[in-house]
Amino acid sequence: MIPICLILFILFIAVITFAIKRADSAQAKVTEEFWEKGRKANSPLRGDTTDLCYITIPEKFFPLNNDKINDLRDKTLVNLT
């Protein structure tokens, strides 16, 4: 006759295996949702840009010898905040 300990051990292994497979399946779902959110976040929005707030850099607030700011004065800047 098979000892009761062996039967309990086999049942324990079966329960552990089932729990591991269930956890792996749940983790795979979470991982897929994470990457899907990342793909959606990286895709550009094709919306209308005419109603955005544009920024101009006034000359009186910054010194004229700063080349980076002088280069930005001629460009169109959008306030994305």
| pLDDT tens-digit map of 5-31 | 999 999 999 999 999 999 999 999 999
CA neighbours closer than 13 Å in the CB half-sphere of residue 49: 9
Q: What pLDDT score was predicted for residue 51?
A: 79
Q: What pLDDT score was predicted for residue 75?
A: 76
Convert the pLDDT of each residue in 30-70 to its tens digit: 999 999 999 988 887 777 777 788 887 777 776 667 677 77
Contact 53, 79 (CB under 8 A): yes
Structural domain count of the chain:
1
Instruction: Locate 37 and state its tokens.
Output: 């959110």
| Chain Cα centroid distance, residue 36 | 9
* Domain range for 45: 4-79
What does the alpha-carbon distance between residue 59 and residue 51 come to, in Å, rounded to a whole number?
A: 25
Q: What pLDDT score was predicted for residue 43?
A: 85
